[in-house]
Chain A
Amino acid sequence: MTFSFPADCSTPRRRIEFCYRAERLTLLLHNKMGRWYRVTYAVTKRDEMQARVDVDPEDEEAQELLVEFQALVEANPPITQAQYDAAFPSGIFDRIKMRYPFAPALTEAQWDDFQDNVYDKLDNKLQEAITENLDLMRGASEFMPDLEDIHGAL
């Protein structure tokens, strides 16, 4: 995966600023996808707990968790096409929409794929670019004033 900066991001400081903004965007994307996956997570966990209670109705921990996960199911209903379209407007999210077309819930495999092959890779590239540009910034003249340059003020 290549990473390129816009033409006007020509200094290390601008590139770092760009990366921090891009990080905010990837975080937003992560949490949109996370909300979509929580539909599956909540139902799976609730069903696991229901199965435990079915096997052992005296299992108090399972009963407690069943109530908790049922609440999570209710708080995370399946998403609608309109919610999907609103969460992923065309333009910046086209590639995401192509990779993860509309469904009421994101599957666990899709969530793992998103984390491993999209989010982590983007985040790692941004971190790499931040580290590289921080190193460059430490050597940049704008952060290393020479006393000779400001002697005129004396």
Chain B
Amino acid sequence: MSEFSNSLSVISSALQAQSQRLRHLSENIANADTPGYRRKTISFHTAMSGAETPGVVETGRVRLDQSDLSQIYDPTHPMADETGNYDGSNVNLMIELSDAREAQRSYEANLRMFEQTRQMGRSLFDLLRR
């Protein structure tokens, strides 16, 4: 049974990590038109020996993408400099959307795994029933 509870905690850590990733992605998408916004990224890593259950997924710090901000030409904009440009965000909607799709796919796969583990545990309990 401890194997099952181990898998369940590993899977739930993955679900948590993926949903956190999805949250930052939606923040990025929501702020795609905010001037000066830098897209947020988080990193995943595996917790090995120190954690309660080895193999759980942990999320690292939120980092801001330091790539160049897009320049938008609009001389009437209050933030425009003398050349008529202002800083947009460095969010690329295409990247965010495909990343979101990937996160969703991983989330679903983990959910299936959770269901499978639960079924195995239930069949174990069925032995006691008659």
Answer yes or no: do A and B interact. no
Residues of chain B having any CB pair with chain A under 8 Å: none
